[in-house]
Amino acid sequence: RPDGLALGLDRSGLFGKTLQEAKVNLAPGDVCLLYTDGVVEARNASGEQYGYDRLAAAASRECPASR
């Protein structure tokens, strides 16, 4: 896990100064899930957050080979 700021957290030059390039090797069957905090922080009508557990469960259902 590289150090640095998350995308969109800084409007000054700090983001560019802390940006690091990283290489991640994926093997056959690996899954790379890209999401924003808006997904896990989304709330239903009752105010309950979607959360990381539901995101992981949805990814497992859609990518059964990653189980």
Output the furthest CA–CA distance in the chain (Å, rounded): 41
The closest of 28, 33, 26 to 62, measured between CA atoms, is 33
Query: Residue 2 above 70 pLDDT?
Result: no
Q: pLDDT tens for residues 7-63?
A: 777 788 887 788 778 888 999 888 888 888 889 999 999 999 999 999 999 988 888
pLDDT value at residue 1: 61
pLDDT value at residue 65: 65
Computed on alpha carbons and rounded to an integer, the radius of gyration of the chain in Å comes to 16
